[in-house]
Structure 1
């Protein structure tokens, strides 16, 4: 993939400025109200004005209210010219239920940040597939504003530029790293949600850098999902694989680990693999632009993602 062409094919939201208004919405599961309010205080400390979707704290079983209500909150934020960024209160489950009904036209007319991860991967994928929006895979940590994750998110949203992630040798997926370099748009996120989106919300991955992370799944589930993605052709043509944090896994009864399973599936693709990236549900994870041009250097242990200008391949 020509990285300059990839840059031109995306929609880049403008950076946030002090005084801009942002909104928390709940497209998936119900959040803890106190946690959201603490995160809102952090954003206010950045000089932003914060409000909340009408149904942000509702609860209907595992969902934050009815599908139509969660969708209405999200689309209202998309269509409100005063709102400059949309933050998901949490992941959980349920964003995939509404991802096909987002107001993509509003974003084409007035691009703005969408920030979330985990189950919110469904929205990031759908936004990329339907309008090419560069979103943010990440969230505000429910800790001090000076937490490294929050500082990285602030730089990304309010200063722009690029993001450089360095693989960590203490992450269990670090041993998956091969060698070589690859460039392409960074697409993906939570493996469970990627699999749920295959065939309807998952963008074409030809020429892309596929980002993968997962948390607290059975090894058999990972095997089913990767098998389906490979055999259905969804992984055909990927340029490289960026592997983040796979946390909360136990070996199978026969001793097979999730790392063994990932190696078995991913090495069949014959592309550069960079593991050990601080992206996902583990400790001290970092935000990263989703859908933006990226350069994966497996030999050097880095993933560089552009946000305002193309990268040199």
Structure 2
């Protein structure tokens, strides 16, 4: 069985002024004002931003039918003039099209995908099927209040330079109290916990030799986090990990446990489920569903250092 040590990461060329970027909606539909702001931002970097054919479609809670969302992704992947693909938002639906991706086109002509949340399904599929490095980053459905200048600058650097990305532990994050001392180096893989859990036994790649990045959206309770981590453990998916990097777990009080739940809080659940893996765990990374999201390469070599409180990740582009 292949481990990350034996696999070669495929990286796309970094973007340059004049390059075309395709905006697509693989999951839920965006709003037009946010996408227009995203186009404006990309254009300010000297890029040519264009929209997929079905960006504003709606079919139930998804941005169009499965075949149309997959068509937009694959059209971008097969167009040699498109140099990066940016999702408009997460939500629901990306998990329905991961088996329809034209990974042959990406092997011939790699280009990075940007997104997070439900887009984690596609990040996992791109690594599992063609070892493509991608970017856990903000959506093209842009909001200056939610993302802001720091997020814009981080996304621009991640797409247009080969600088490594360094995240520093933030003691105010709910996961910050969960640390198992040590350093670890491996390929960074992961994203949204619910998406990773869903892919267990289906599209989740072998994680032996990897550093697993986890974040969790607001709206579910401690039991759901416990179920997700227990499912991953019981499936054997976490065997052979070198380390765990914990991002934001929103909606949980950092300090106080719930007296109706035996006094446990989110840190207790994470500590109970993860420190038994016997690998370094770094909590408190300011990355996930919160304000001002950074852009984090996935599928490239990363190092966690609990003494320094840092996650350092090599660029997804060359």
TM-score calculated relative to the size of structure 1: 0.94
**Conserved? CA contact 1:205–1:235, under 8 Å:** yes
**Conserved? CA contact 1:161–1:308, under 8 Å:** no
2:289 matched residue in structure 1: 281
1:236 matched residue in structure 2: 239
| Shift of residue 118, structure 1, vs aligned partner | 0.4
**Conserved? CA contact 1:67–1:97, under 8 Å:** yes
Question: For 1:225, what is the secondary structure of its paired residue?
Answer: helix
How many residue pairs end up in the alignment?
307
- Any idea what the Cα deviations from partners look like across 1:160-215, whole Å, max 9, x if unmatched? 22111111111111111221100100000000000111112111110100000001
Q: In 1, distance between residues paired with 2:153 and 2:266?
A: 31
| Shift of residue 309, structure 1, vs aligned partner | 9.8
2:42 matched residue in structure 1: 43
1:142 matched residue in structure 2: 143
Unpaired runs of at least 5, structure 1:
none
| Shift of residue 4, structure 1, vs aligned partner | 10
Instruction: Please report the RMSD computed on the Cα atoms of aligned residues, expressed in angstroms.
Output: 2.0
Q: In 2, distance between residues paired with 1:215 and 1:122?
A: 15
Q: Mapping of 1:1-313 within 5 angstroms?
A: 5=5, 9-140=8-139, 141-143=142-144, 147-216=149-218, 217-249=220-252, 253-254=260-261, 255-307=263-315
TM-score calculated relative to the size of structure 2: 0.92
**Conserved? CA contact 2:158–2:316, under 8 Å:** no
Q: In 1, distance between residues paired with 2:248 and 2:68?
A: 32
Q: In 2, distance between residues paired with 1:96 and 1:4?
A: 23
Q: In 2, distance between residues paired with 1:27 and 1:143?
A: 22
- Any idea what the Cα deviations from partners look like across 1:228-285, whole Å, max 9, x if unmatched? 1001100001000000000023665324222211111001101100011111011332
Question: For 1:16, what is the secondary structure of its paired residue?
Answer: coil
Q: In 2, distance between residues paired with 1:248 and 1:34?
A: 27
